[in-house]
Amino acid sequence: MLGEVADEAASVTYLSTTGVYGDLRGGWAFEDTPVAPRTERAKLRVAAERAWRDLYPNVRIVRLPGIYGPGRSALDRISAGQARRVVKPGQVYSRAHVDDIAGGLKALMTSGHTGVFHLSDDEAAPPQDVTGFAADLLGVQPPPCIAIEAAGLSPMAKSFYGECKRVSNAKLKAATGWRPKYPSYREGLSAILDSENR
């Protein structure tokens, strides 16, 4: 099936995850950083990347960080009473607003460039900061901070806190001239709330 797609496609772009790098302990992930997947999900992504490269050497592999947007953000979790501020010292994540993902993919695919690229915003940030900012936007009290040891996280949630990295988008910017419309969670969350209040 994949072979048929690769044979007939004018180009192939595979959306992967920055989870393929595993835990960099807050260090930077660049496109040439060796992959070191820790979770089964990330291992499957690495296998899929390799399969696409074998079938279509000029494939574009776009590694995405945490995705957010309307209906899927800290604003929604707070409104639903499901937000928590779990604190692990030094923990940061990179993110990408769905509109920036669409714009970045368009810029990349029309540029003709192939290879591996990161599509992320400009600022990796602690998750508790994002939740606190979202609460401020909504004019509500943010949930209290909870140390990760006391949070009683599920195995899935623990896996997210088990990895820490900053993702560089410099290669995509240099190749295409693209810039994120929402360079941090602050602009992205503010835009989501503005759109919902119209």
Between CA 114 and CA 57 the distance in angstroms is 9
d(CA 24, CA 92): 11
Are 101 and 119 contacting, i.e. CB atoms less than 8 angstroms apart?
yes
Q: How far lies 47's CA from each of 50, 51, 53, in Å?
A: 5, 6, 10
CATH of domain 8-196: 3.40.50.720
Q: Considering the entire predicted model, what is its pTM?
A: 0.93
pLDDT in tens, the chain (198 residues): 555 655 677 899 999 999 999 999 999 999 999 999 999 999 999 999 999 999 999 999 999 999 999 999 999 999 999 999 999 999 999 999 999 999 999 999 999 999 999 999 999 999 999 999 999 999 999 999 999 999 998 888 888 899 999 999 999 999 999 999 999 999 999 999 999 886
Where do the structural domains in the chain lie, given as residue ranges? 8-196
Strand 95-97 to strand 13-17: parallel, antiparallel, or no bridges (unpaired)? Answer: unpaired
